[in-house]
Structures are given as C-alpha cells and as structure tokens.
C-alpha cells in the first residue's frame, strides 16, 4: 500500500470511528505528512512495506538535529505508534517497526496557571463594559475559570446546554463524551446578564459574535490572551491556562483529585495528577521561606 493511501485510511478511521477533534486530526496529518516527505526525500520510499525502524530512527535524529523539543518529538512518535497499531489491525503490516523505537526523555513541565489574586483582579476590575460585547467577554473569562472547560467545548456550548435552574452545564467533550459541570450563583448572575442582551441569532450556540455568528477558536484565543495580558507576564496566556488555573485553584483549596478529574473530563487520573506538582511546588516555596533551616 502506498504511503498516501495508508495515511488517508488512517485519518478517516480517526475522524469517523474514533471521532477525534479537528485540531487533533490536523496534528496527526501534519506529523505523517512530514514523516512521509522525509522517507521520500531521504530513502525514496513510496510504499508502507518498505519502512523499517532504521528509517524511523533517522527521522527522529533529523528532528532532534533541527532542535525540535523532545516533547514535540515524542508527540510525533506517538502519532507513528497509533498509525502502526491501525495498520496492524488492518493487516497492512505484520509487525510494527515502532517496537524498536525509544522515546527521548523529557523534563516535566508544570502547568502554567494564574494566581488567585490576579484572577480576582481580572474579573473584578478589568472594565469589561456593560454592553453586549463586554458582558460576553467577561462571561467567557469567568466560564473558563469557573468550570475548567476546553476551548472547543466553550465554542460548541449550546443555549440548551445551560440550565440556570439546576446550575449546570452539559458539556460535550473529547470523543463525544458528555459530562455535567456545575456552576455557582455568581456565574449564574453573569449568564443572566449576558442572556439579557444577547444578540438575536439563528445559531444554536450559546456564545455568538457581535454579528450573531458562532464564535471561532482564534477569536476566543485572542480574547483570552488580551485579557490575561492585563494581569500576568507569563509566556502562555491561552484558554488552556485558565483550565489549568481552575484545576490548580480547586486542588489548592482541598478539592478531591477524582472530583477534579470528572469536572475536567479526563479519561484517567494520571492526566489530572499533573496538577499536584503545582501544589507540591507551592509547599516547597512556603517551607523555604518559613523554615529557619531551609
């Protein structure tokens, strides 16, 4: 089977059977396209049966020589592992060359988050304005921080998913997994303020643009980046930072790790445990500052 056909079959499988997000599909496609271009240029390989572990190792070495970070290299290796698992199930290959591939070591990177005082300052004193745009923008920031939902989940949130009576959101997460996320009375008031002057629109989504259209990811990303720039100098100022902030503040205030896992929509606890590192670092700093022998 030629490389292009094997890639097309794999991406269709991820899209229609695994139901991965558009963002994830683009990442898989880019990784495979880059890998196949390397195979063609370096080894003149056109068929998937010609690929061996030596060729794959050569690609990994070339990535590291280009100063690609170990974290990014590992993501590409994960793409190939998933790709070859698919090929094995389809009977296209009889053995995966990825069995002989080792991933480079990566240093642990703590999730970036915003301090509570800075979040209070942002929400209380940023002068969002009382018009439609101001109320919507403030609610977007508050919703990310108060619920920890993902960017894609916020954009696709429907008006029917917001239950003011019960104080709950119905969120459709990764792999179309639905979960219920509660919200506070304070957030409820912000939602009511927004709905009071929400622009009439034919779209079913909860958040709309100034012209009544569905919001797009870059718009929300820029919006969050602009507002976070008012209170933090951190390199990362994205919606995901607010998700990290939600989880870190919840954990620091005594929330159970399993409860945070469910609220975030994580498939397993290991993905949530990364937030415990921020708590440990905080304790280390307190110890260093307070203990006479530290």
Query: 174 an active-site residue?
Result: yes
Contact assessment for residue 97 and residue 45, using Cβ atoms and an 8 Å cutoff: no
Query: 240 an active-site residue?
Result: yes
What are the residue ranges of CATH 1.10.443.10 in the chain? Answer: 116-289
Please identify which of the residues 136, 243, 244, 261 carries the catalytic annotation: 243
Dist CA 130 CA 113 (whole Å): 28
Please identify which of the residues 150, 237, 244, 249 carries the catalytic annotation: 150
Q: Calculate the alpha carbon distances from 208 to 48, 144, 179 in Å.
A: 45, 16, 22
Please identify which of the residues 53, 174, 179, 213 carries the catalytic annotation: 174
Query: 150 an active-site residue?
Result: yes
Please identify which of the residues 136, 138, 244, 266 carries the catalytic annotation: 266
For residue 27, what are its two tokens? 């990442």
Query: 277 an active-site residue?
Result: no
Query: 227 an active-site residue?
Result: no
Print pLDDT tens along the chain (294 aa): 899 999 999 999 999 999 888 889 999 999 999 999 999 999 999 999 999 999 999 999 999 999 999 889 999 999 999 999 999 999 999 999 999 998 887 766 778 999 999 999 999 876 899 999 999 999 999 999 999 999 999 999 999 999 999 999 999 998 889 999 999 999 999 999 999 999 888 899 999 999 999 999 999 999 999 999 999 988 899 999 999 999 999 988 888 999 999 999 998 888 888 887 766 656 566 556 665 665
Which CATH architecture best describes the domain 116-289? Orthogonal Bundle (1.10)
Please identify which of the residues 28, 145, 194, 275 carries the catalytic annotation: 275
Q: CATH: 1.20.120.550, 1.10.150.130, 1.10.1740.10, 3.30.930.10. Which one for 3-100?
A: 1.10.150.130
What are the residue ranges of CATH 1.10.150.130 in the chain? Answer: 3-100
Contacts 24+ apart (CB under 8 A), 195-204: 196/135, 197/131, 197/132, 197/135, 198/132, 198/136, 199/132, 204/158, 204/159, 204/160
Which helix (DSSP H) or strand (DSSP E) does residue 213 occupy?
none
Query: 84 an active-site residue?
Result: no
């Amino acid at each position: 089977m030629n490389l292009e056909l094997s890639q097309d079959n794999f991406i269709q499988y991820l899209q229609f059977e695994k139901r991965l997000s558009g963002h994830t599909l683009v990442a898989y496609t880019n990784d495979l396209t880059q890998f196949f271009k390397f195979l063609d240029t370096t080894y003149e390989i056109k068929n998937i049966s010609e690929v061996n572990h030596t060729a794959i190792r050569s690609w990994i070495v070339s990535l590291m020589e280009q100063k690609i970070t170990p974290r990014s290299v590992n993501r590409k290796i994960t793409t190939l592992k998933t790709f070859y698992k698919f090929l094995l199930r389809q009977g296209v290959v009889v053995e995966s060359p990825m069995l002989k591939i080792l991933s480079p070591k990566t240093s642990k990177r703590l999730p970036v988050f915003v301090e509570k005082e800075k979040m209070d300052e942002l929400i209380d004193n940023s002068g969002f304005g009382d018009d439609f745009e101001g109320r919507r923008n403030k609610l977007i920031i508050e919703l990310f921080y108060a619920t920890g939902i993902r960017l894609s989940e916020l954009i696709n949130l429907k008006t029917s998913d917001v239950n003011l009576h019960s104080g709950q959101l119905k969120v459709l997460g990764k792999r179309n997994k639905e979960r219920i996320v509660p919200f506070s009375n304070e957030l409820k008031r912000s939602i009511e303020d927004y709905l009071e002057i929400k622009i009439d629109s034919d779209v079913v989504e909860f958040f709309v643009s100034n012209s009544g259209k569905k919001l797009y990811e870059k718009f929300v990303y820029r919006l969050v980046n602009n507002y976070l720039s008012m209170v933090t100098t951190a390199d990362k100022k994205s919606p995901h930072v607010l998700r990290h902030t939600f989880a870190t503040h919840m954990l620091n205030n005594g929330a159970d790790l399993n409860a945070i896992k469910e609220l975030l929509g994580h498939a397993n606890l290991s993905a949530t445990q990364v937030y415990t590192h921020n708590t440990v670092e905080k304790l280390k700093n307190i110890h260093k500052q307070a203990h006479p022998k530290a």
